[in-house]
Amino acid sequence: MNEVLSQDEIDQLLSAINSGEPDLDDFRPVTSAKKIKIYDFKRPDKFSKETLRTIQNLHETFARVTTTSLSAQLRSIAHVHVASVDQLTYEEFLRSIPSPTTLAVINMDPLKGNAVLQIDPSITFCMIDRLFGGRGVTTGTKNRELTDIEQEVMEGIIVRILANIREAWTQVIDLRPRFAQIETNPQFAQIVPPNEIVVLVTLETKVGEEEGMMSLCIPYLVLEPIISKLSSQFWFSSVRKNSTTQYLGTIKQQLTSVDMDVVAEIGTINLPIRDVLSLRVGDVVRLSSIKVGDPLTLSVGKKKKFYCQPGVVGKKMAVQITGKIEDLESDEFEELSVEGDESYEWWCYFSRWNWCFVVWSCHWWLKFFWTCW
C-alpha cells in the first residue's frame, strides 16, 4: 500500500465493520480471472511447444550471426533478435504483413517445398540507402514497390541471410536454402494453401535508427520429414557431439606442434656395483646382448617405436629407420595382467628392491664425491 491510514480512519473502519454496514466481501482481495485459451478442433496444432522452443533456439543463433553479417555489410550498427515463434495459418500470415513489402521465396533444399522471408519496407529501404552510400534515411519511400536495381541489391542481402540460416540449422540438417524470387505483393506468394499451418519466426530488426520486423515463414509440410529432430534432446545432443568433435580437432592440431624427445639407444647392460665403482676413462663396456649389425632402438618419449641403423649426414650423426616395433596387443596385456597374482607380487617385490638400490646408489655417490672434494 502506498498510503498509510490515520488513527481516525482506522476507528471509522472498525466501527463500520462492527455495525454491519459494509459488506465484508468488499475487503477481500480481488483474484485475477484465469486466462482461457480457445482451442479450435477444426485447426489442431501441429507444432508442439518443445518443437517451437527448438526452432526458437536455432533462430537465436541465426539472429546473432545475422547481426554480425549485416553490420559488416551495411557498415552500420545492426541488431537482430527473436521476438516470437508462433504457429498460424498461411492466410493469417499474409494478412499480417503490409503491402507492398519484400517477400523472398526460398527453396529449402534438401527438404521439399518453399519458405518465405519477409522484410518490412522500412528495413528494406534503409538497407538499400546504406548500400547506395546514404545514411539509411527512408523518409517518404516506404510505400512503393522496388525498382529492378533495388531488387538486385536486395537479392545480394537475402543471399547472405540465407547463408546464416544454413549455419543456424547445421545442428539439425545440412540445409541448403536457395533464393528463388522476390515478390512485393503478398497475394502473389502462394507457396501453400491458405489454411495450411506454418511456423512464423518474427525477428525484431534495427539498422541504424530504423526499426522494423523480419519474418521467416516455414510451412509444416516442409518441416514434417525432420519434425522428430526438432526436439530439445536431439538438438542438445547434436550440439555436444559437434562441440566434442570440434575440440578434438583443435587439440589434435595443437599437439602436432609439441616437441618430443626421440632417443636412439644402442643397448643396455646390467653391472654389479663393484664394476660400476671401478669404471675409469678408457674402459670398454661390452654389450653382450648386442651384436655388430643389429639395429638400434628409436624411442619416442618413453616408448620404443622403431628400429634404425646409425650413419652420417654431412658432419652430423644420424639414424635411418628400418622398421617399426609392433605394439603389445591389448588382449596380450590383459593376459599378462591376469595370468596370476604370483607374477604380479614378484614384480612388485622386484620393483621395491630396484628402488632401494637406486636410493642407496645415490647416497653412496654423494658420499664419494663429498670425500673427494
Beta bridge partners of 91: none
Predicted pLDDT at 349: 44
Is pLDDT larger for residue 116 or for residue 240? Answer: 116
Is residue 184 over pLDDT 60? yes
For residue range 326-373, list pLDDT tens digits in order: 764 444 444 444 444 444 444 444 444 444 444 444 444 445 444 544
DSSP string, 196-219: -EEEEEEEEEEETTEEEEEEEEEE
DSSP conformation class of 169: G
Predicted pLDDT at 292: 80
C-beta neighbour count of 256 within 10 angstroms: 6
Is pLDDT larger for residue 28 or for residue 226? Answer: 226
* In contact, 84 and 95? CB cutoff 8 Å: no
Enter the pTM of the model: 0.53
Residue 21's pLDDT band, with cuts at 50, 70 and 90, is low
C-beta neighbour count of 39 within 10 angstroms: 8
328 by Cβ neighbours in 10 Å (0-12 / 13-18 / 19+) ranks as: exposed
Which domains does the chain show, CATH number per domain?
A: 49-246 (3.40.1550.10), 259-271+294-325 (2.30.330.10)
Q: Name which of 36-50, 140-154, 229-243, 264-278 the model is least confident about.
A: 229-243
Is residue 114 over pLDDT 90? yes
99 by Cβ neighbours in 10 Å (0-12 / 13-18 / 19+) ranks as: middle
* In contact, 323 and 283? CB cutoff 8 Å: no
Q: Which three cell numbers stand for residue 142?
A: 516506404
Whole-number Å distance between alpha carbons of 184 and 178: 18
Is pLDDT larger for residue 225 or for residue 328? Answer: 225
